[in-house]
Structure 1
């Protein structure tokens, strides 16, 4: 049986694994098409797994292959390799599924050329890693009268404000993320390894219902925690070392991350000072993340809190980033960043992770965070970080 026959025989299962009702997708597609019209775009080619999921429900753990969604005012065409026919049929509701042999990339271009005939302006995201140069080069060669237009901000502008169903998914993820970090924190002890702690957290995440995650549990201790984006590697935890943890469960692909740092013993005065700064940053951000204020203004308020440690500690410069429905290799949505120079304004139902991690190079790092939702009155956490460097022993 070839992939085309397989696709046809799966049609009775069409949409059976889709996590949202058609009304949700209709709302999203209408907003995207209105943005296309405002930008004078006749079609948009989306290649990011999260963008395709947002408009169709397409969900898979295989995100390394070429997949694309062609959006026009009239139709949605989903293009996938033969190994992805099953998810394409069962997790989506689209007008047209076009599959190609996984091993034969020569079959990718012709179907796109046929469907783009007569299109003068095609929107693409040139900064999206899933957009293959081979695709854009061949489209430009085969359709010389068609302009490829940078439309990277088009979908981001729609996705950044979450619907009620999306907020429900993020709240469910927040609950599971908290359960995972709590279990990991309970496993922190001198002599345990960072892998032991990650294992305890991962088990709790999956037991609580997490799907495969956009990033796996992050656990590092001691000097390793002073280096960003390392992860557990069977390293023993020493007495009185801080252990940095960052988890993000997935619920219908939506992720509400959280950071926590727990000391395997007694925190030093310096650790407590850095931790207290993280807490003041968090409280300051929540007080200024209000509808109508810019991301830049929130970052500048936080920078004032950070100033006393700005020379001693490394901070990434991003006080918050949007989260939503994502796939590996990251849970960062990318539709908004709380950082200096970002002039976009907060609006109700935007959701941000606040990655407040301060690292003293060669010593250790302290990070604590919540995922927060913007409301009409301000910002409120979805996650429930206990904001403590120690774990209370059971009574």
Structure 2
């Protein structure tokens, strides 16, 4: 049986059976995007980011390394997938037009894609800065569609995705619950002699048993000196007496992730560790107050920088006080539609959701981090995750 016959059978028996949201939720998203497209005089969008495709169709797969595309117009949705992704394309979506190509036959991608775009119109929006938009696809399309304009429209869908609906907030709340179970299980496992990998395994097991799907990032666990090196992860290193153990987890519920950080010390925290944790806590309180509708992301970052002043020359901080989260796929749970950082002039709106990754690192010594995922309300930031905000000791 080839993939065309496979799709026909699934279409008759399983179409939309694993779609994550009711049709009304997708219709709301589509209408908001169409309105923005009309304002920019765009005839179609060519989307290749797996999370964008999921947001607009429900298409869900762990295989995100292959070329997949969605052509979105005010009147038409066309999903292009390799043959191995026929099942998810049918079962997870209500898209009726699915263009399949042989997994090994990437040369089959261009002509069907160009034909659909040619019918849509000459002004086509793309996301120029996303890594899923392959160079070969773009050069091929420009050759097949002379006179067509490909316009950077990445911010267009970002502006729709950044404000979460009630359905999305419900998914984030479930993720937050499961993330908390994983973090707590990991905290309880910390003791001298256990390895960072064993702690990560304990947390991952708790999240998977509680219902997490495959996660956009694996649990992050670093101990002692390695906790001072940003974006390292567990690597079979044992915990020594007095080591801080940095934890950052994020479960997935319908692909939505609400991450959280905690630090637990295998023994008694030093005075320096307590002082750095206090700065993290003051940063968090300051940001919650600054995340009010109408305030700029830059304003909140400036307020955070003032809290950091006494330690600014001593510790490393990434410069990003928060980033948006929502529905994502590996390799990251960062949605990327907004960042609380200097120079970011977008304003907070009710329904935006940010992870506040507040981690301070003393180079070559250790790091202390704590965080919550927070939604914007009329009165400021309100946590979705339930971090106890204590520097735990084991």
Compute the TM-score of the two structures, normalised by the length of structure 2.
0.99
**Structure 1 stretches of at least 4 aligned residues deviating more than 3 Å after TM superposition:** none
SS of the counterpart of 2:109?
helix
Measure how far apart 1:160 and its partner are: 0.3
Measure how far apart 1:391 and its partner are: 4.6
- The 1-side partners of 2:364 and 2:107 are apart by 50
The residue that corresponds to 2:351 in the other structure is 349
Q: Does 1:181 align with 2:178?
A: no
Question: Is the Cα contact below 8 Å between 1:75 and 1:95 reproduced in 2?
Answer: no
The residue that corresponds to 1:215 in the other structure is 217
The residue that corresponds to 1:262 in the other structure is 264
SS of the counterpart of 2:137?
helix
1:208-243 deviations in Å (ceiling 9; x for gaps) = 110000000000000100001110011000101100
Question: Is the Cα contact below 8 Å between 2:266 and 2:393 reproduced in 1?
Answer: no
The residue that corresponds to 1:362 in the other structure is 364
- The 2-side partners of 1:171 and 1:55 are apart by 21
State the number of aligned residues. 392
* Unaligned runs of at least 5 residues, structure 1: none
Question: Is the Cα contact below 8 Å between 1:352 and 1:371 reproduced in 2?
Answer: yes
Measure how far apart 1:387 and its partner are: 1.2
- The 1-side partners of 2:322 and 2:15 are apart by 38
SS of the counterpart of 1:116?
helix
Which runs of structure 2 are paired with 1:160-171 in the superposition (5 Å)? 160-171=162-173
With over 3 angstroms needed to count, the CA separation of the structure-2 counterparts of 1:95 and 1:75, relative to structure 1, is farther
Question: Is the Cα contact below 8 Å between 1:295 and 1:338 reproduced in 2?
Answer: yes
Question: Is the Cα contact below 8 Å between 1:290 and 1:347 reproduced in 2?
Answer: yes
**Deviation larger for 362-371 or 117-126:** 117-126
Measure how far apart 1:113 and its partner are: 1.1
Measure how far apart 1:89 and its partner are: 0.2
SS of the counterpart of 2:392?
coil
- The 1-side partners of 2:46 and 2:359 are apart by 36
The residue that corresponds to 1:172 in the other structure is 174
SS of the counterpart of 2:252?
coil
The residue that corresponds to 1:43 in the other structure is 44
SS of the counterpart of 2:118?
coil
Which runs of structure 2 are paired with 1:129-278 in the superposition (5 Å)? 129-278=131-280
**Deviation larger for 372-381 or 165-174:** 372-381
The residue that corresponds to 1:94 in the other structure is 95
1:319-346 deviations in Å (ceiling 9; x for gaps) = 0000000000000000000000101000
**Deviation larger for 342-351 or 118-127:** 118-127
1:275-317 deviations in Å (ceiling 9; x for gaps) = 1100000000001100000000000000000111111100010
Measure how far apart 1:95 and its partner are: 3.2
Measure how far apart 1:379 and its partner are: 1.0
Question: Is the Cα contact below 8 Å between 1:19 and 1:252 reproduced in 2?
Answer: yes
Among residues 294, 297, 300, which one is paired with 2:299 in the alignment?
Answer: 297
Compute the TM-score of the two structures, normalised by the length of structure 1.
0.98
SS of the counterpart of 2:361?
strand
Question: Is the Cα contact below 8 Å between 2:114 and 2:141 reproduced in 1?
Answer: yes
Question: Is the Cα contact below 8 Å between 1:371 and 1:383 reproduced in 2?
Answer: yes
SS of the counterpart of 1:10?
helix
- The 2-side partners of 1:117 and 1:352 are apart by 39
Measure how far apart 1:93 and its partner are: 1.2
Question: Is the Cα contact below 8 Å between 1:277 and 1:305 reproduced in 2?
Answer: yes
- The 2-side partners of 1:152 and 1:314 are apart by 31
Question: Is the Cα contact below 8 Å between 2:267 and 2:393 reproduced in 1?
Answer: no
Measure how far apart 1:94 and its partner are: 1.3
Question: Is the Cα contact below 8 Å between 1:320 and 1:353 reproduced in 2?
Answer: yes
The residue that corresponds to 2:86 in the other structure is 85
With over 3 angstroms needed to count, the CA separation of the structure-2 counterparts of 1:37 and 1:52, relative to structure 1, is same
